[in-house]
């Protein structure tokens, strides 16, 4: 592969996102499992003792410890997914992907609205949202074209003063 086309780039990007999500889920389940096993089998439980940090009992402290273990597993799994994904890819593909990634973000920053203040439609409690400001939902060339149309439509509505609340 001498040049990475946009279709292959978006497939690789989707693969990376799937790795992140899968590793986050696996890390969460592992964290819950390890934390649960620790607090269930290793830690001494005294139901009459007062919990740390002003918690009423140790059961709440142990439950909080299990939840925090799951969260820590999620963070570690997600952070470890991208380096693992990159290790399993060829260096020349990664270089081409990095170039395409920069190109995509330059295109996004060029075409998205700039200097938009926080907007609130009169008579409404909700603020007007920008349509996918960072381009996170762009998963294909057709999605990029749809994103471009949404940006242009938003700017036209902004200039004419016809913004509706989503």
Place of tokens 């330059």: 106
Higher pLDDT, 121 or 103: 103
d(CA 86, CA 37): 32
Q: What global pTM score does this model have?
A: 0.74
**Alpha carbon distance 96, 49 (integer Å):** 59
Average pLDDT, the chain: 83
Sign of CA dihedral 70, 73, 77, 79: positive
Please tell me the predicted confidence (pLDDT) of residue 160.
Answer: 75
Q: Give Cβ neighbours of residue 57 (< 8 Å, ≥ 6 apart).
A: 47, 49, 50, 51
Tens of pLDDT, residue by residue over 130-162, are 778 888 889 999 999 999 998 888 888 777 766
Contacts 24+ apart (CB under 8 A), 150-155: 151/111, 151/112, 151/113, 154/113, 154/130, 155/113
More confident of the two residues 62 and 16: 16
Confidence of residue 165 (pLDDT cuts 50, 70, 90): very low
Mean local confidence (pLDDT), 97-109: 92
Averaged pLDDT for residues 60-72: 88
What does the pLDDT average to over 109-117? 76
The number of beta carbons lying within 10 Å of the beta carbon of residue 57 is 15
């Amino acid at each position: 592969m001498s040049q990475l086309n946009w279709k292959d780039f978006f497939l690789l990007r989707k693969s990376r996102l799937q790795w992140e999500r899968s590793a986050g889920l696996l890390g969460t389940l592992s964290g819950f499992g390890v934390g649960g096993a620790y607090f269930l089998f290793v830690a001494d439980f005294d139901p009459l003792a007062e919990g740390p940090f002003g918690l009423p009992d140790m059961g709440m402290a142990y439950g909080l410890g299990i939840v925090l273990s799951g969260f820590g597993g999620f963070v570690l799994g997600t952070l470890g997914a991208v380096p693992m994904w990159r290790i399993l890819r060829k260096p020349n593909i990664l270089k081409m992907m990095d170039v395409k990634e920069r190109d995509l973000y330059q295109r996004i920053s060029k075409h998205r609205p700039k200097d938009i203040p926080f907007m609130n439609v009169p008579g409404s409690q909700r603020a007007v949202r920008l349509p996918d400001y960072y381009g996170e939902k762009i998963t294909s060339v057709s999605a990029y074209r749809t994103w471009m149309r949404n940006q242009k439509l938003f700017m036209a509505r902004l200039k004419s003063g016809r913004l509706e609340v989503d």
